[in-house]
Amino acid sequence: MNPDKERTLVIVKPDGVQRGLIGEVVSRLERRGLKIVGVKMLKMDDGLAAKHYEAHVGKPFYEPLAKFMTSSPVVAVAAQGRGAVRLVRNMMGALSPEESAAGTIRGDFAVSKRYNVVHGSDSPESGEREVSLFFSPDEIFDYDRDIDNWLRQE
């Protein structure tokens, strides 16, 4: 795979949507040079939550997590770029707001481990899997930007 085309899924969780942070999150992604190749608002149902969090089904925290994620609309964003997964993970900050650095999304906006505004894929493989859960191929737009030539320079 072309390293400039690595994709990650970012979800603005229900708390982020309710607090009006959609634009803030998307703006931060774009300002770091990531290309937004898909975006949509949706209400996760139980089936999508179970597929998305399949590694956590049956764990004690799964039911409250699924209840939270299906409680209100979310915004799914497919972001693309060199090292997109790692870049987004760094931008999000640690899961716990107490451990998140100021300047990260969670460091600036999270109020608890559950109400932490965003989800991001944890590996390139997860990024591809998660993007395909939330977007059909015709909902992903791979387009050229003039700035991409500048961003690819080392």
Catalytic residues: 119
Asked whether the CA dihedral 148, 35, 116, 89 is positive or negative, the reply is negative
Residue reference for tokens 């460091």: 107
DSSP-derived letter for residue 102 is T
Q: Cα separation of 125 and 35, whole Å?
A: 18
Neighbouring CB atoms inside 10 A of 100's CB total: 19
Q: Cα separation of 108 and 92, whole Å?
A: 10
Of 26, 17, 15, which Cα lies nearest the Cα of 91? 26
